[in-house]
Each structure stands twice: as structure tokens, then as C-alpha cells.
């Protein structure tokens, strides 16, 4: 095996991408280096969003749980197209909740001006984006930040959100399907989202194509319970037909600018 750090790191990254967990001690023995060297490799890979550090090694990251920081720049124009469609239904003076998610971050960028909107969010990046707008009232739901989710979904955050009466929530979803409804990869995140939906008069999910008719382990709600599911302009017709048969209300976004 090569003892070049970058070559070694690439081999470790390849195993993680293939869904394999890695153990630092075993890797150190295999590559003939110290465990400290392997730990440096794993720290670097975790910083790139390619693994999740655990005691003694690292675990692969499921596709939908790539850290929020790594998702922000992905498919930006498509997410903005979803967001521009979503804002059309927002009424003046509404109290909105923007759940964690890169598509909801895109929504924060295109909220209408001078609509006397109050925005609550549990997401760090969304709060920062809203803070730059002088015409928006901001409420931040705090707690311990979950790096992959990109926001706070712990017990403190859950307690804070239960005090709100929300007009319209934009809920993040890791997967959406006719049979599985909308679902999440993290159980704590899913519990937070279920509570959020129960407190909201209207619920909206903006869904990019790769999430349609996929499943995640933690169910949030049935597809028919979401007030609007906004999909991309080129969403596969067969997948949309399944969702409509399950009772989902589908809104199709305009093509990206």
C-alpha cells in the first residue's frame, strides 16, 4: 500500500463511499502508519462531508445526510425555481417557519419585500440569511446544532417550537413517496418535523427530483397530509402519478431561470 497521505486518504474515502465503516486501528495496521495519522485522515474527510466520525473510526454518510454546508451549492438554480413558486402562496403578515434544508435556504433568499413577515427557523444558515433582511422579523429556535441537519432538533428546540402558532411551515424532507410519505434519515429530526407539522395551519414541502419515490427510515407524515408538495418542472410523470393517487396535492414549479 502506498504511504502517501493523499493516496491513503483516497482509498479510505473510496471505502466510505461504498458504504463501508472504517476502524482507525485496523487502517493504521493495514497502511503501516500511526493511528494519529489515520485520525487526521478521518478528520479531513469528515470536514469535506464524506464521513461521520465515531469513537475508534468513521461511518459513511447516507446521501440525504450530507452536511448542510455541503448541500448549499448543489442544484442551486433548481432549488431557487422551487422557492420562487412557493412564495406565490405566501400572504402578507404571515408567520412562517423555515425548517432546516438547503431548498428552504433558497426560499429565504426570495421572500417578498415589505410583506410584514415573521420568520421562525431552527437552521443556522437560514437565520443568517434572514438576519440580513431589515423587513423581516426573525425568531431563532435554538439548542444543540446537528451538523448534518444544519439546525437544532434536540429537546430544547422541540420545547421552544411547541410555543408557536405557525401560519405556514416549509418542512424539509429527505425522501418522499406514495407509500412512505415524507420521511427523514435522522430520528430526532423526524420527531422535530412531526411536531412542526402539528403546529402549522398550512404545510409545504419543496422536493427536488432525486427525493421522489425514495424512502428514508423515519416517517414524518403521509403525503396527503401536506398542504402542498412543490416539485420540479421536469419531475417524472410516473412518480407524480403515484403521489397523486396517494392523495398528495402537487404543484409544479416553473423551469429554472
Q: How far apart are CA 123 and CA 47, in angstroms?
A: 19
Q: How far apart are CA 26 and CA 86, in angstroms?
A: 49
CATH number at residue 113: 3.40.50.1360
* Same domain flag for 179 and 116: yes
Q: How far apart are CA 50 and CA 159, in angstroms?
A: 32
In this prediction, residue 1 carries a pLDDT of 40
CATH number at residue 13: 1.10.10.10
Closest listed residue to residue 106, CA positions, set 75, 137, 135: 75
Record the cell numbers describing residue 143, joined without a space. Answer: 439548542
Q: How far apart are CA 148 and CA 165, in angstroms?
A: 27
Radius of gyration of the chain (CA): 20
* Same domain flag for 163 and 45: no
In this prediction, residue 66 carries a pLDDT of 58
Q: Is 239 contained in some domain?
A: yes
Cα-based distances in Å from 15 to 19, 47, 58, 137, 156: 7, 17, 11, 46, 36
pLDDT along the chain (257 residues), means of 10: 73 78 88 92 82 78 56 78 96 97 93 96 96 94 88 95 97 92 90 97 95 86 97 94 97 92
Record the cell numbers describing residue 83, joined without a space. Answer: 422557492
* Same domain flag for 79 and 192: yes
* Same domain flag for 42 and 160: no
Our measurement of the distance from residue 89's CA atom to the centroid of its chain's CA atoms, rounded to an integer in Å, reads: 22
Order of all β-strands in the sheet with 200-207: 137-140, 118-121, 95-98, 166-170, 200-207, 228-231, 250-252
Q: Are 168 and 233 in contact (CB under 8 A)?
A: no
Q: Is 257 contained in some domain?
A: no
In this prediction, residue 13 carries a pLDDT of 85
* Same domain flag for 80 and 110: yes
Record the cell numbers describing residue 39, joined without a space. Answer: 485520525
* Same domain flag for 105 and 143: yes
* Same domain flag for 74 and 183: yes
Number of folded domains that form the chain:
2
pTM for this model (two decimals): 0.75
User: What is the domain range of residue 46?
Assistant: 5-61
Record the cell numbers describing residue 149, joined without a space. Answer: 441537519
* Same domain flag for 91 and 42: no
DSSP bridge pairs for 181: 177
Amino acid at each position: 500500500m502506498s504511504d502517501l497521505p493523499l493516496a491513503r486518504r483516497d482509498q479510505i474515502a473510496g471505502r466510505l463511499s461504498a458504504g463501508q465503516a472504517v476502524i482507525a486501528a485496523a487502517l493504521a495496521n493495514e497502511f503501516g502508519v500511526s493511528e494519529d495519522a489515520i485520525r487526521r485522515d478521518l478528520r479531513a474527510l469528515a470536514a469535506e462531508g464524506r464521513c461521520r466520525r465515531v469513537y475508534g473510526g468513521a461511518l459513511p454518510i447516507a446521501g440525504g445526510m450530507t452536511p448542510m454546508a455541503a448541500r448549499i451549492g448543489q442544484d442551486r438554480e433548481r432549488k431557487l425555481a422551487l422557492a420562487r413558486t412557493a412564495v406565490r402562496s405566501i400572504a402578507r403578515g404571515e408567520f412562517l417557519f423555515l425548517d432546516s434544508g438547503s431548498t428552504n435556504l433558497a426560499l429565504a433568499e426570495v421572500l417578498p419585500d415589505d410583506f410584514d413577515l415573521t420568520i421562525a427557523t431552527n437552521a443556522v444558515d437560514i437565520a443568517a440569511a434572514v438576519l440580513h433582511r431589515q423587513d423581516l422579523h426573525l425568531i431563532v429556535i435554538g439548542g444543540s446544532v446537528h451538523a448534518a441537519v444544519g439546525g437544532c432538533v434536540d429537546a430544547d428546540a422541540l420545547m421552544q417550537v411547541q410555543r408557536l402558532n405557525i401560519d405556514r411551515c416549509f418542512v424539509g424532507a429527505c425522501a418522499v413517496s406514495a407509500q412512505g410519505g415524507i420521511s427523514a434519515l435522522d430520528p430526532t429530526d423526524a420527531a422535530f418535523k412531526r411536531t412542526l407539522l402539528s403546529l402549522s395551519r398550512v404545510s409545504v414541502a419543496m422536493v427536488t427530483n432525486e427525493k421522489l419515490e425514495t424512502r428514508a427510515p423515519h416517517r414524518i407524515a403521509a403525503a396527503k397530509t401536506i398542504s402542498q408538495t412543490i416539485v420540479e418542472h421536469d419531475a417524472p410523470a410516473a412518480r407524480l402519478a403515484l403521489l397523486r393517487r396517494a392523495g398528495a396535492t402537487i404543484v409544479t414549479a416553473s423551469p429554472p431561470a
